[in-house]
Amino acid sequence: MQKVIGRLESALLKQRGNVDNIFTDKQMEYLKSRKVIICTLFYMSQGFSQYFGCLLNTMRVLDKIGVVCDFMQINGASYVDHGRNVAVNNFLFQYPEYTDLVFIDSDMEWDVIGFLRLLVSKHDLVGSAYPMKNCWNNYSVRHYTNADMTPKVTEDGLIEAQYVPGGFLKITKNCLLKMIDEYKGEKTYNNTNDEKTPLVSLFECVVDKEQGVRYGEDTEFCRKWIKMGNKIYCEPRVTFFHYGVNAWSGNYHEHLINQPKPRENYGK
């Protein structure tokens, strides 16, 4: 899997930013119109070396293509939900001309083409599914299905989802402004670092007492967006390594293809 990631990145870099053979002219035009902030939360100001190498490769490719990109780090983020809310606030107030905020966790490694697939999508909220630590054959996503239990796939190859994880997530400014306008009344709390710009708790961990379920901050963010009548999409064609004590690798697209056919499991 690592060799696959390396070949994909090498191919892009050798093309000196020319990815016209991968994306259409319209997709490239849209891609070049975006201004992107990549944001990572650091609990102890540490990250995996594979993450930093991949981050540098990604930013080099974006520069060669002509996409404006900058990096934001949130240090000492012991509370992930609060850290993400701070990042949203910084994105909107410190980078007003930027169009997309992309959260990437510091224990991730990804292929650059997969990252570009998130950016070329015009949907406001698009994430990718990666293998879960200690449960390597499971992916942290829940998607909608058709009557035959196959994923509900769009014409552009995305999967309509109920929620996607926050470790590899693209959010447009349009999405954030709409959500803040919707939730600022009931979800605003004081920003200890800047009293003039209070935070809106778009990301928060909650317990659904009726269902007896606890939702993490990323899932609850997705639930808020859906409650507003919007849709979420998963880009499955991204190859990941998810690092911990071991490295869990996987590609959600390949994972879905290798599943038993629906007729073998249903209708009998």
Q: Which residue has the higher pLDDT, 110 or 135?
A: 110
Whether 265 shows a pLDDT value over 60: the answer reads no
Is there a domain that residue 16 lies in?
yes
What's at 100, amino acid-wise? D
Q: Which residue has the higher pLDDT, 200 or 135?
A: 200
Is there a domain that residue 256 lies in?
no
Q: Which residue has the higher pLDDT, 124 or 77?
A: 124
| pLDDT band of 16, cuts 50, 70, 90 | very low
| pLDDT band of 93, cuts 50, 70, 90 | very high
Is there a domain that residue 189 lies in?
no
The pTM assigned to this predicted structure is: 0.85
pLDDT score at 267: 40
Question: Nearest-CA neighbor of 149 among 254, 266, 231?
Answer: 266
Whether 42 shows a pLDDT value over 90: the answer reads yes
pLDDT score at 260: 83
Whether 15 shows a pLDDT value over 50: the answer reads no
Phi, psi of 52 (to 5 degrees): -65, -40
Distance of CA 124 to the CA centre of its chain: 11
Tokens read off for 67: 């996409």
- The 8-class DSSP code of residue 155 comes to T
Whether 21 shows a pLDDT value over 70: the answer reads yes
Domain of residue 157, residue span: 2-172+231-245
Is there a domain that residue 163 lies in?
yes
CB-based contact 9:111 (threshold 8 Å): yes
- CATH number of the domain within which 40 lies: 3.90.550
Region class of 17: left (phi > 0), else alpha (psi between -120 and 50), else beta = left
Number of H helices, E strands in the chain: 9, 17
Whether 259 shows a pLDDT value over 90: the answer reads no
Is there a domain that residue 195 lies in?
no
Is there a domain that residue 238 lies in?
yes
Number of domains in the chain: 1
Tokens read off for 201: 């708790």
Euclidean distance between CA atoms 21 and 32, whole angstroms: 16
Tens-digit pLDDT profile for residues 191-233:
776 667 789 999 999 998 888 999 999 999 999 999 999 999 9
Is there a domain that residue 126 lies in?
yes
Question: Which of 9-23, 67-81, 133-147, 197-211 shows the lowest mean pLDDT across its residues?
Answer: 9-23
Neighbours of 50 (CB within 10 A): 18
Is there a domain that residue 29 lies in?
yes
